[in-house]
Amino acid sequence: MESTSRNFNANVRAALANDALQSALGKIESGFVANRANAAPRLPEFDALRDQARDIKDHILDNLDFYLEAFEARVLESGGQVHWASSAADARAAILDICRSVDARTVTKGKSMIAEEIGLNDFLEENGIEPVETDLGEYIIQLRKEPPSHIIAPAIHLVKEQIEEAFRGAHEGMFDSGRSLEEPRALLEEARAVLRQRFLDADVGITGANFLIAATGSTVIVTNEGNGDLTQTLPKIHIVIASLEKVVPTLEDTSTLLRVLARSATGQEFTSYTTFSNGPRRNGDPDGPEQFHVVLLDNGRSEMLGGPVRDVLRCIRCGACMNHCPVYGAVGGHSYGWVYPGPIGAVLTPTLLGLDEGRHLPNASTFCGRCESVCPVRIPLLSLMRHHREQAFEDKLSPAAERTGLGVWAFFARHPALYRFATGLAMRALAWAGRKQGRFSTLPFAGGWTAHRDLPAPQGDTFQRQWSARGGRRR
Amino acid sequence: MSKARPEVGLFVTCLVDLFRPGVGFAAVALLERAGCAVTVPRNQTCCGQPAYNGGDRANATAIAKQVVEAFEKFDYVVAPSGSCAGMIAKHYPQLFAGDPAMAARAGDLAGRTHELISFLVDIRGMDALDVKFDATATYHDACSGLRELGVKAQPRALLERIEGLRLVELPGAEMCCGVGGAFCVKYPDISNKMVANKTRDIAATGAELVLAGDLGCLMNIAGKLAREGSPVRVRHIAEVLAGMAGQPAIGEGRR
Ligand code: SF4
């Protein structure tokens, strides 16, 4: 996927002016956020489970090669194949080879952020293979030719009317043009009807994976629509595409992670479908694919493992951090410009694409900390964003005026006597200028502030001067 | 540490020092009422957050060192801000990760540092106030105090002790107001959206007064309310608790 992260400010302006988007975003608080808030206290040990989940993931990262090799061995034993892909291009090539081996025309796809990361759909299309998204949200945005705006709710930026419009356009001639699509249910039924044939026609089914279990060689997906099951059982070939850090030691660990995943993501105790896949169809199995492939994507992960943002590899892609992020809530996922939006994107995008491209994302945060307070695997998202800021500062990537301003301020802050003198003068002048109104609606050098709000004027002398004047206790 | 009269070093915070000294005096009054001896070290400017969150670790560390040195000898260090207290209590130790001697001193300071209202309630056990203030007020939970220091129940507990004050809960009280240090000037449009949500929620309460424990948030909220022509007034909670709410509210002209 092509990134527009460097155009973050332009993306933001467009997002803030987009009324449909704003109305769609307004529903996150009453939906995902409220649901999680209700679900969390119903499980008294939820916070303890979060600690466990963090520890499980840390243990995995400490032993990643061991668990990956174990997983590979189990997959091979069950008759499947594993393809190691160090880059997005490698992963795309591996998938194309598999598709070509059966002259695939269409592939059905379950929801996968890794597929987005490697730009799979565009690539398949360029190579004459039609990808069909089967997750309802993904299906909608595929019709609209746009990327997902959320990692678990890809079409969350849309209102119902926009979906209806997309369906009427794409399904023209397939249904009665006078049909009612008022009810969300009607939209769902229509998508089902269209997709049913696509499921049957597909030569290959591609899904992501929430977990890869080292002990059993299973791949696990969670969905609420059951589309993933049809994607992976009906075609001749099932390809799983997942990044390295998705591996988990045992079924038991998986169940711990599943418990925090669903509650954090949607507030459900469990998602409607949790599907485990083990290898291809065996003799006597009633159904299942003839071939089972797992494409394991590195794409920068092994480098991250030894670096300062390692903790982000704990992420289980629940989406809670973006649901709770007030910046995400204001500007939506597309503003972030690349695959991963919200706080997790603010850490991942600069890591994977470089700070030149992604520097705005970790800066565009108030550090309110709401993301960290809900992250099921306790990723220190703020510290990781701050790490990117430090790197950007070191590399002099921020605007020169900003760095100069910070430098001047820091000089005074480091010289208290000078600071007291300078601020004493400045505040008296400002207080005098603002004495009647008590605030400024414009002020030189304060345009960023006064563009949208008044600046309260100082009360008068600084506290330090007044304290001295009153003979207060000093040291 | 249960001295009869503990020595408290007041970390004034740069915004209170420059923009609203009245909050500093209110803090002193409250601390004295809570039985503390208050000293204001001269060698303090700011906690260093602008540098720390701006990626300038060298300056952040230098400023932190200055604060550690200035506040070495006190039983407690108290700031009328969850943001600055959180910086000292939660982040200073990390700044000196590579310098064990300084890390130990910063860790010691961190353990002695508190946000004002939670200090009064949790450490000094304040539960009565001899203050009357007639108003319907609502309270905004500033982010750092709330999430880094657990300041939530303490301000409400004290506000309930004020005669005449009716406290109405603010919907979305825990939502960030959008100031975020330099965020509000680096990304003014997003910040505006966030503070506009906040003033919308404030208006919905019908309160005539908004309180919070952090001057950064308060200046942001007051500035937005003023720009919108709202009559709602804005004050730091310490002003009201100390019975010092006679001065013009934040952003309000002299009457
Ligand atoms: S960073 Fe945490 S909250 Fe965000 S998606 Fe990953 S696991 Fe979920």
What mean pLDDT is predicted for residues A156-174? Answer: 96
Across the interface, whether the CB atoms of B190 and A29 are under 8 A apart is answered no
B179 pLDDT above the threshold of 90: yes
Contact B185 A326 (CB under 8 A): no
Contact B55/A392, CB-based, under 8 Å?
yes
Minimum Cα–Cα distance from A450: chain B residue: B223
Topology adopted by domain B127-254: Rossmann fold (3.40.50)
Sequence ranges of the domains in chain B? 7-122, 127-254
CA distance B178 to chain A (A): 7
Would you say residue A273 has pLDDT above 90? yes
Nearest CA, atom 6, ligand 1: A315
B73-89 pLDDT, tens per residue? 999 999 999 999 999 99
For residue A122, pLDDT over 50 is answered with: yes
Q: How far is A461 from chain B (nearest CA, A)?
A: 8
Q: Please name every residue paired with B77 in a beta bridge, in sequence order, or none if there are none.
A: B9, B113
Closest CA to A78 of A295, A276, A213, A279: A279
Q: Which pLDDT score, from 0 to 100, does residue A253 have? A: 98
Which pLDDT score, from 0 to 100, does residue A260 have? 96
SS3 A109: strand
* pLDDT (0 to 100) of residue A444: 80
Provide the 10 A C-beta neighbour count for residue A235: 25
For A445, which residue in chain B has the nearest alpha carbon? Answer: B185
Q: Is the CB of A166 under 6 A from ligand 1?
A: no
pLDDT of residue A52: 98
Question: Which of A284, A299, A314 is a domain's end point?
Answer: A299
Is some CB atom of chain B closer than 8 A to the CB atom of A94?
A: no
Ligand 1 binding pocket mutation candidate from A310, A316, A340, A361 (most atoms within 8 A of CB): A316
Contact in structure between B221 and B210 (CB atoms under 8 Å):
yes
Same domain, A88 and A237: yes
Question: In this model, does residue B255 exceed pLDDT 70?
Answer: no
- For residue B2, pLDDT over 60 is answered with no
Question: pLDDT tier at B1 (50, 70, 90 boundaries)?
Answer: very low
Ranges A222-226, A312-316, A393-397, B76-80: which has the least confidence: A222-226
Chains A and B: how many Cβ contacts under 8 Å?
229
Let me know: does A371 contact A346? Beta carbons within 8 Å: no
CB contact under 8 A, A367 and B181: yes
Nearest to A414 among B28, B62, B186 (CB): B62
Per-position DSSP letters for B206-225, written without gaps between them: T-SEEEES-HHHHHHHHHHH
A406 to chain B: nearest residue by CA? B51
In chain A, residues 287-326 whose CB comes closer than 8 Å to chain B: 326
Provide the chain A residues 431-460 that lie in CB contact (below 8 A) with chain B: 435-439, 441, 446, 448-449, 451-460
Residue A143, ligand 1, Cβ within 6 A:
no
State the pLDDT at residue B121: 98
In a domain, A362, yes or no: no
DSSP A271-288: -SEEEEE-SSPPTT-SS-
Q: A421 with A292, same domain?
A: no
* A288 and A424 housed in the same domain: no
Asked if residue B200 has pLDDT above 90, the reply is yes
| Residue A445, pLDDT score | 77
Average pLDDT over residues A311-316: 98
ipTM of the prediction? 0.96
Query: Would you list the DSSP string of A170-232?
Result: HTTTTS-TT----SHHHHHHHHHHHHHHHHHH-SEEEE--SEEETTTTEEEEEESSSHHHHHH
CB contact under 8 A, B19 and A458: yes
On whether residue A435 sits in a domain, the answer given is: yes
Enclosing H/E stretch for A384 = helix A381-394
User: B101-155 pLDDT, tens per residue?
Assistant: 999 999 999 999 999 999 999 999 999 899 999 999 999 999 999 999 999 999 9
**pLDDT for B251 beyond 90:** yes
Of A13, A441, A457, the CB nearest to B189: A13
| Average pLDDT score over chain A | 96
Contact A16 B190 (CB under 8 A): yes
Q: B99 CA to middle of ligand 1, Å?
A: 32
Question: By residue range, what is the domain housing residue A461?
Answer: 411-469
Residue that the structure tokens 């560390």 belong to:
B61
Q: Are residues A274 and A415 in the same domain?
A: no
Domain boundary among A299, A325, A350: A299
Among residues of chain B, what percentage have pLDDT more than 90?
95
| Nearest-CB residue to A448 (from B43, B51, B188) | B188
- Average pLDDT of span A395-420: 93
Going by pLDDT thresholds of 50, 70 and 90, the confidence category of residue A473 is: confident
A290 and A419 fall within a common domain:
no
Backbone angles phi, psi at B249, to 5 degrees: -70, 175
- Grouping H, G, I as helix, E, B as strand and the rest as coil, residue B122 is helix
Residue B229 phi, psi dihedral angles, 5° rounding:
75, 20
A376 touches ligand 1 (CB under 6 Å): yes
Looking from the CA of residue A265, the nearest atom of ligand 1 is 8
How far apart (Å, rounded) are the C-alpha atoms in residues B36 and B124?
9
Question: Tell me, what CATH number does A204's domain have?
Answer: 3.40.50.10420
Least CA distance to B235: which residue of chain A? A456
Per-residue pLDDT at A388 exceeds 60? yes
Last residue of a domain, one of A237, A266, A299: A299
A317 lines ligand 1 (CB under 6 A): yes
CB contact under 8 A, A458 and B223: no
Number of domains in chain A: 2
Q: Smallest Cα–Cα separation from B47: which of B29, B31, B70? A: B70
Q: Report yes or no on A157 lying in a domain.
A: yes
Write down the mean pLDDT value for chain B.
Answer: 96
Nearest one of B100, B99, B108, B126 to B69, comparing CA atoms: B108
A93: which 2 tokens? Answer: 């090539």
pLDDT single digits (tens) A1-60: 789 999 999 999 999 999 999 999 999 999 999 999 999 999 999 999 999 999 999 999
Residue A331 CA to residue A143 CA, distance in Å, equals: 22
Mean pLDDT of B156-174: 97
Residues A289, A427 within the same domain: no
